[in-house]
A and B are shown apart, each in its own frame.
Chain A
């Protein structure tokens, strides 16, 4: 048998699994914070509660799960072993400690400098540095020179710069006159999260759909447009260029994402696997919700032409639809496409062929997964309506639906993580010849 397959390159489950557990817990806590932030979400984009909510969602939920999943996916995408598992574990511990400190500090003292934010921010930066070293060193060892690989490496570079800017804002608040907050957000959202998702999903989606012969030129175009547009946007923001330059840069970025859309839509159209499992249903939903982010992103970039109230709403909808819509739906779905396999490999790798083993798809509760698909839809669209119509009560109801989603998701996460099954040996029929 051949060496070098991704199973042999896969990291120890001890490195990956805590990320999923922590992510599920953060999503649950975030839903509680969402309910308490309902009033703020009707009036503003920036308040202590909203800043806390954004950071537990972005760091504790999205970044945490993405980091864990990436440690598992690096061998798949780059066909190498992860550079160093101890670094990964250290990075997890730092992020797990730093995130609650930051969230607590924002909740209590907004952006004031205090011990909590300094310690929390430093821990998060250290975590990101260790993660970046690990991913970039793995990429250096890889001989795969694919466009997907390039997306991942570039996203990590943006991540470094985004975190650096974020921390600089806390330490030197006076630099905000250079639009550093907007630069921090655009780098984190477009440069890091979105670009990473483009890189990883352009491998995984066709693999799960079973779709072949896709036009990779779409991805190359997407790469140059997204990064070119983002550089232009940041220069324009930093030097305070006229607002039509920001709008132009945003249009270039959106054009880049539209090529990525085309690539995925082609995979969806050419898929051989017509019926979608719960993981892919969530993923298709995530990409559909991205349309809301694209439209509201464009509206946010043109906020200079909108009134104050609508500019605020556009920015809120943009952030909400990305964090609670696209990324959350994608993670909710892709958990079912990654976590069961990690646990399954850990438990059954040496048992296949000797015992009757369950399939990874049998390791979660199917009805619970279906239920949180619907509660998520209610929660997400409720939140959208609540923001658009500034309705406190609708936002509270949405928060309760999102909390239910988080609870059901955490249940299935726990069920998969603690999966145990008594195995019966396979009794083979007698050979005829």
Chain B
């Protein structure tokens, strides 16, 4: 499993595609919000695994965000099997937001 700060070049490219997905509530992309925990690219098995979380358990648009990730990655890698898992460990905290995310957060209105 590749943690978010130890990605290969191919996994980093997948992360860049995921970066096009905004959180509908705050308008910041979900990578900069720190919601993506792992991206794993099994080249030989043609499998992509993504572990992600949400900023709150009851997030009303949580399911749609997960679906969004699945659709975008599946579109980019049609010959691959894509799995997106929602995890609650470790629990998301605002400390996971990147500096870019914090900047966008405060300039989005």
Contacts and interface: CB of A to CB of B under 8 A. Distances in A.
Answer whether A and B are interacting partners. Answer: yes
Interface of A: 1-2, 5-8, 10, 72, 75-77, 79, 203, 207-208, 210-213, 272-277, 341, 344-345, 348-349, 352-354, 359-361, 428, 431-433
Contacts of B72: 353, 428
Contact of A273 (B17, B60, B67, B106): B106
A6 B58 contact: yes
Contacts of B84: 1
B12 to A, nearest CB: 9
Given A210-B55, A272-B94, A7 B75 contact: no
26 contacts: A1-B66, A1-B67, A1-B84, A1-B85, A2-B86, A5-B59, A5-B62, A5-B63, A6-B58, A6-B60, A6-B63, A7-B64, A10-B60, A76-B58, A211-B94, A275-B107, A276-B109, A344-B61, A345-B60, A352-B67, A352-B68, A352-B71, A353-B71, A360-B25, A361-B109, A431-B13
Given A1-B67, A5-B86, A272 B60 contact: no
Given A5-B66, A72-B60, 6 more contacts: A1-B86, A2-B66, A8-B63, A75-B60, A213-B93, A345-B64
Contacts of B5: none
Contact of B63 (A1, A79, A433): A1
Interface of B: 9-10, 13, 17, 21-22, 24-27, 55-64, 66-72, 75-77, 84-86, 93-94, 97, 102, 105-109
A275 B86 contact: no
Top 6 closest pairs, chain A to chain B, by CB: A353-B71, A7-B63, A76-B58, A5-B63, A352-B68, A2-B86
Contact of A77 (B9, B58, B62, B93): B58
B4 to A, nearest CB: 18
Nearest to A338: B60
B40 to A, nearest CB: 15
B43 to A, nearest CB: 9
Nearest to A431: B76
B60 A79 contact: no
A360 B26 CA distance: 10
A432 B94 contact: no
B75 A353 contact: yes
Given A210-B94, A433-B10, A75 B58 contact: yes
A275 B106 contact: yes
